[in-house]
């Protein structure tokens, strides 16, 4: 019975179109890239601050 319910629910679901999937994938990749650049910037900033403190 459970399998039948699952299949029925999956048939009733609205699946995204190929265009929607492509747009959301690009959006996700861009957002991940921006977050990665922010983290890289913070990492480099903290690296230089640490070296500056160690050089004192």
The whole-number pLDDT of residue 34 equals: 98
39 Cβ neighbours under 8 A, 6+ residues apart: none
Cα separation, 29 vs 34, in Å, equals 9
The whole-number pLDDT of residue 18 equals: 97
Cα separation, 53 vs 56, in Å, equals 5
- How would you write the pLDDT of the chain (56 residues) with one tens digit per residue? 789 999 999 889 998 999 999 999 999 999 999 999 999 999 999 999 999 999 98
pTM of the model: 0.70
The whole-number pLDDT of residue 56 equals: 85
Cα separation, 7 vs 21, in Å, equals 22
The whole-number pLDDT of residue 22 equals: 98
Cα separation, 43 vs 28, in Å, equals 22
3-state secondary structure of 29: helix
């Amino acid at each position: 019975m459970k399998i039948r319910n699952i299949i029925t629910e999956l048939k009733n679901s609205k699946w995204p179109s190929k265009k929607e999937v492509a747009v959301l994938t690009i959006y996700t990749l861009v957002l991940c890239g921006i977050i990665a650049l922010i983290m890289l910037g913070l990492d480099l900033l903290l690296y230089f601050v640490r070296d500056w403190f160690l050089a004192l």
